[in-house]
Homo-oligomer: A and B are copies of this chain.
């Protein structure tokens, strides 16, 4: 049996070809475990598929069609790490596709698992379910399970809903979907290949806040490196700047970047601002208390200097990083981001079960004119 630590120890900043290939075998289910698994073509296809699903779901007969797609499969949401938002997003995605689901939210409450290895618990679940969506506190555990599943007689696919401080690939996918979808506005002519354009070329994309400890920025950075021609600004308190592993990864891909410690002087140049909260739950000794977060926040006064097409994103929850009065401005995309997550997760689940073809056929048959 592969050790969890061994999996976790593999550096995540490399496109570990071998690891990705193991998750992506032709003779096994497709497992969504690492953001690095997605190349530019798959990003574009999934964004387009998400658009199609949301358009189809806009009509009553469309929702009925979608609900037939996976009504013959069952999903297990194994969410051992507390999470409401991601959990609800996945359950909504399952419901859109008509897929019955069940959940395990707290392994410790079950008397039945006393003394049982977690591998055995997972093996039992694979007998009842056709998909595991997993959120787990241990880095590398989702990858370990995906590899374990591949060794079973009837492997089922796994989707990583967040593992430890490290990977959260579906969040990364919804983030890039929101970014590309917002930049592609105003909507191109129907049928036009919306996501194949170089939407990021020439854009300035800022990440602001606690970049060291937030995994969403890390995961999104991997996906951005599938594109070129943009400039990345990492705006953080020096003690909480983005990790060197990410910087090296970006440099290897030839992406222009800069480290700053105040968003205010540059707000007028930015095309997309990815705001994040202080992750003070990781503080050893309250060290982030002394940081003035005004440098990494958007006030209503600053909105005068926003570009018209600025894309403001936030993985949520927010604290004070974005003034509530910004919520109703056209630049605010963080509520859309929530909804985009639901559509993107539906697209990922549908793809896992090879329903993307049926969705495309239905879309072209009924929703284009």
By a beta-carbon cutoff of 8 Å, the part of chain A in contact with chain B is 1, 57, 60, 63-64, 67, 71-72, 74, 76, 81-86, 88-89, 91-92, 95, 100, 102, 104, 107, 109-116, 120-121, 123-125, 127-129, 277, 281, 316-319, 324, 327, 335, 338-339, 342
Contacts and interface: CB of A to CB of B under 8 A. Distances in A.
B71 A338 contact: no
**Chain A at the B interface: mostly helix, strand, loop or mixed?**
helix
A84 B72 contact: no
A129 B88 CA distance: 10
Contact of A111 (B83, B100, B116): B83
A104 B84 contact: yes
A1 B324 contact: yes
A128 B338 contact: yes
A324 to B, nearest CB: 7
A129 B92 CA distance: 8
A127 B92 CA distance: 10
B277 A115 contact: yes
Nearest to A315: B112
A112 B85 CA distance: 7
Contacts of A81: 111
B67 A115 contact: no
B100 A82 contact: no
B63 A84 contact: no
A187 to B, nearest CB: 17
Contacts of A64: 71-72
Contact of A88 (B89, B114, B125, B277): B125
B114 A281 contact: yes
B88 A342 contact: no
Nearest to A111: B82
A38 B87 CA distance: 36
A104 B105 CA distance: 13
14 contacts: A57-B72, A63-B71, A74-B92, A82-B111, A83-B110, A84-B109, A88-B125, A91-B102, A95-B102, A116-B319, A120-B316, A120-B318, A123-B327, A127-B339
Contact of A86 (B92, B112, B319, B324): B112
Given A83-B112, A92-B128, A95-B100, 7 more contacts: A81-B111, A84-B113, A88-B128, A115-B317, A116-B316, A121-B317, A127-B335
Given A64-B72, A95-B74, A338 B109 contact: no
Contacts of A113: 84, 317
Contact of A335 (B63, B86, B116, B123): B123
Contact of A342 (B86, B109, B127): B127
